Amino acid sequence: MTTKTVKVEIPFQRLLNVIDQLTPDEKLVLKKRLEKEKVTTWQERFGKALQYLGKKNKGFSEKEVEEDVKRAIAEVRGSAKICSCH
């Protein structure tokens, strides 16, 4: 099956009117698609990573995690100083 790209130009208000007519399930699908496209800041990505890791690593003490984070930050900053590429 071949695909074809079509560019559609419609006024934004008309787009909102169309979205209002979607079913709740269709709106959910649209939301998920838009979230995949969303550009996030490194802080947001870092926060999500911490939430994910927190759920997966409940067996470690807060002190252990804190030490690991400090060590990781030091390693990243150390490698950034070595590679003055930017």
The per-residue pLDDT for range 18-56, each reduced to its tens digit, is 999 999 999 999 988 888 877 778 888 888 888 887 787
For residue 3 the two structure tokens come to 């695909």
Q: How far apart are CA 85 and CA 39, in angstroms?
A: 24
Q: How far apart are CA 39 and CA 45, in angstroms?
A: 10
Residue 23, pLDDT score: 94
Q: 6 — phi, psi (to 5°)?
A: -125, 130
The upper half-sphere exposure of residue 41, i.e. CA atoms within 13 Å in the direction of its Cβ, equals: 3
Taking the domains of the chain in order of start, what are their residue ranges?
A: 7-38, 42-82
Question: Residue 67 belongs to what H/E stretch?
Answer: helix 62-82
The per-residue pLDDT for range 3-27, each reduced to its tens digit, is 888 788 889 899 899 999 999 999 9
pTM value is 0.37
